[in-house]
Structure 1
């Protein structure tokens, strides 16, 4: 059986107010061709199909047109979709009766039965071969919110457990146990998830941080060693988890911010051999529209203007013209910067998406580091607390102080609500 792992499409996304429908359509057209060319049996979409919880009608049409074309060209194809943190679980699941009739399974949220127990059956998807027989089982676990995970009680009352981390691990164990009870000889178990794993490399500007119950990242140990493959979504950089060949983020199919310019975007082809994964093969996604950073590193304004005037870009239709980020190192305010940049770009077939001014951030000991405005915007309260502590005391904030600050922040958030 052959599977294809993809995630983080973010349909409907705009890049600094530029519509990206053309780029997404190029990817989806390529993906349909790839499914046929690679003779794929199961397509796994590991969350963040849409860029926000209220996607446009155009974004919905793109998704359903893709599904219709994929099924028309590969009637045997089975599709399993889970919701990500950007998706609305209810909206994603709304057309379930129609989709299931065409072999498309969508799991948007974790359901519960009449007794309030988690409905594990909804998370277990049989993957069938072309003969109609079950060849593998998929644990289709969507992005988990605190109310989705089972409650874990420590056997030792003196032991403090993170309810989200341990609840998530318990949910995967329970789902795996159910899958094992259904397995016969030669059937693989695949796990899907949309989460941030320990040591996962994040994109600087485009990923929404997931911090729940104080937990930033989940351990790879929550997946049983007998799981043949783990298909993850959320992080946009394709990467292995904990060095394991068969636990992967496939990454996003196109760069979602200028911080992802250097990424090699891809989908992953998984070849199963009985209950094991035989191979994992990256299939690189062509980039329909280029992203340019000029210069490569922030530089003084006069140097930047000279580089822009020397920029040589071939003529292209407007929808295919490169996006441009201009990176300027400033010592102080420069009110006329946009007009000067636009003058240097006059007549060039590029789309000016962003001017990124960088200023010097000085610490009391005169050491300095450059922070962009986007980086400043990404700072969370705990980041600011860590920085202020380091400035004041010249050392990292101790864990008890961080915990006290987190408790105070959560209390204030609760009061505001």
Structure 2
């Protein structure tokens, strides 16, 4: 029996983009996704983490999610929605509304749970997917973002993050194989950074102990499809059936050229290897355009004036502009106003200006790039570390990121208490 499902991830509902909310863009995406669900009627929708942008999302972001689940259930009542928590989510928060989710044929797995005897609670991690006739057509192995504190120290196989990660995958896959029937597929959904995956500058670094990226060797050949979240660029990792769906909207200017998509997958376990696995990328229309302008000042002004004109009345629908200008001299006091005046009126939002100094030969000096972006904890730490005269040290930086992750986890625990 074939199983048909949609793979999506990294919605980041509630994100503010340079102090501008993305409600309009997310609404446009969710409206488009509902239309795809109505037309294709998949058996399942998989959301592979980072549902929200922050661990304590605004009520408007939560309302967007629950309204979507309501509408999706109305147009495809047989469809199951399976979600996992990403590193931006509070795993406890996404699980708290389980009674509500059940009404809309939805399930959220936020944390790794352990039994009293220190064995892995597999029942929550292994979810059946049914077809219209209520027959199981697939098993979904759900692995939310793996925080070191939640997966280590439970038994001899979890003494550190590396062996705990291997243990989790082995136990879960072994149980799935024991339950799987010949006409059922196995799908693994995970929120993680895999070795070989291409990143963008909007992705929060993931450090699990000292493991920066996981290996595809964790996935047994019996797995028919690996639905990944965390990296925002749609891509395969190693093999066609191991894929990141990517984010539905660009979350930074580095993602301007990404072809954002939802992956439509069909698996027929009874078919030959050639026809067993099929997928199609459903490209998501971009509702608000992004423009990155760079060069010396004269060239920047020329590019700004050449942008398409025509007013856009609603501010939250106006296009974003990022300017990086190159110069040998300090900026003029009214330079921002000059940039604003050069833009066609009432169509754009100038959200970021940065300058890159040129050396005497007119070449770019990478040490002299100045950005108006607020620093992240990671960037601030690097700046202070280097200012103190220390050389770049990957081990120290990884230790710092581990502390940031522990602090975030502590905050989640306080919020869920």
The answer to whether 1:311 aligns with 2:307 is: yes
Contact 2:70–2:104 under 8 Å retained in 1 = no
Kept in 1, the 8 Å contact 2:8–2:245? The answer is: yes
Tell me whether 141-150 or 224-233 shows the greater mean CA deviation.
Answer: 141-150
The residue that corresponds to 2:160 in the other structure is 163
Are residues 410 and 273 of structure 1, via their aligned partners in 2, closer, same or farther at CA, if it must alter by over 3 Å? closer
Q: Secondary structure at the match of 2:174?
A: helix
Residue 278 of structure 2 is matched in structure 1 by: 279
Is this contact kept in 2: 1:382–1:402, CA < 8 A?
no
Query: Is 1:326 the equivalent of 2:323?
Result: yes
Count of aligned pairs between the two proteins: 396
1:250/1:266 contact within 8 Å kept = yes
Report how far residue 130 of structure 1 moved: 1.1
* 2:319/2:348 contact within 8 Å kept: yes
Among candidates 339, 355, 371, match of residue 337 of structure 2? 339
Note the 1:6-405 alignment, pairs <5 A: 6-150=8-152, 163-204=160-201, 206-241=202-237, 243-274=238-269, 277-294=276-293, 298-318=294-314, 319-334=316-331, 335-345=333-343, 347-359=345-357, 368-369=365-366, 371=369, 373=371, 377=375, 402-403=394-395
Q: State the superposition RMSD in angstroms.
A: 3.3
CA contact (8 A) 2:322 2:350 kept: yes
* SS of residue in 1 equivalent to 2:62: helix
Deviation at residue 402 of structure 1 after TM alignment: 4.7
Paired with 1:102 and 1:182, the residues of 2 have a C-alpha distance of: 26
1:103 Cα deviation from its structure 2 partner: 1.7
Q: Distance in 2 between matches of 1:119 and 1:59?
A: 30
Instruction: Give the match's secondary structure for 2:14.
Output: coil
- Whether the aligned pair in 2 keeps the contact of 1:44 and 1:79 (CA below 8 Å) is yes
Structure 1 residues 404 and 262 mapped into 2: Cα distance closer, same or farther (>3 Å)?
closer
CA contact (8 A) 1:152 1:167 kept: no
Shift of 1:346: 6.3
Deviation string for 1:308-349 (max 9, x for gaps)?
233332322323221111221132431432122122236242
CA contact (8 A) 1:8 1:49 kept: yes
The answer to whether the Cα contact below 8 Å between 1:152 and 1:166 also exists between their aligned partners in 2 is no
Contact kept in structure 1, 2:308 and 2:344, CA below 8 Å: no
Conserved? CA contact 1:165–1:218, under 8 Å? no
Q: 1:312 to 1:101 in 2, by over 3 A?
A: closer
1:347-369 deviation digits (Å, cap 9, x = unpaired): 2421111113223599xxx9954
**Does the C-alpha gap of structure 1 residues 376 and 216 become closer, same or farther in structure 2, counting only changes over 3 Å?**
farther
> Displacement, 1:57?
0.6
Q: Could you say if the C-alpha distance between residues 119 and 19 of structure 1 is closer, same or farther in structure 2, counting changes exceeding 3 Å?
A: same
Distance of 1:269 and 1:413 partners within structure 2: 33
Q: Segments of 4+ in structure 1 off by > 6 A?
A: 152-155, 381-388, 407-414
Q: Distance in 1 between matches of 2:11 and 2:403?
A: 35
Q: 1:162–1:213: 8 Å Cα contact kept in structure 2?
A: no
Structure 2 gap ranges (5+): 411-417
Post-superposition CA distance 1:29-58 (Å, at most 9, x none): 100110121221100000001000011111
For normalisation by structure 1, the TM-score amounts to 0.85
**Partners of 2:49 and 2:85 within 8 A in 1:** yes
In structure 2, distance between residues paired with 1:367 and 1:22: 37
Change (3 A) 1:372 1:211: farther
Q: Which residue pairs with 1:158 in the alignment?
A: none
Contact 1:118 1:150 in 2 (8 A): no
Offset at 1:290?
0.7
CA offsets per residue over residues 384-406 of structure 1, 9 Å max, x none?
79999xx999xxx8xxx754776
Structure 2 Cα separation of the partners of residues 373 and 111 of structure 1? 42
Unaligned regions of 5+ residues in structure 1, if any?
156-160
SS at match of 1:122: coil
Secondary structure of 2:88's counterpart equals coil
SS in 2 for 1:248: strand
Q: Is the 8 A contact 1:196 1:235 kept in 2?
A: yes
TM-score by length of 2: 0.85
- The Cα offsets for residues 263-298 of structure 1, whole Å up to 9 and x where unpaired, read as 00001001010277421110000001111122xxx2
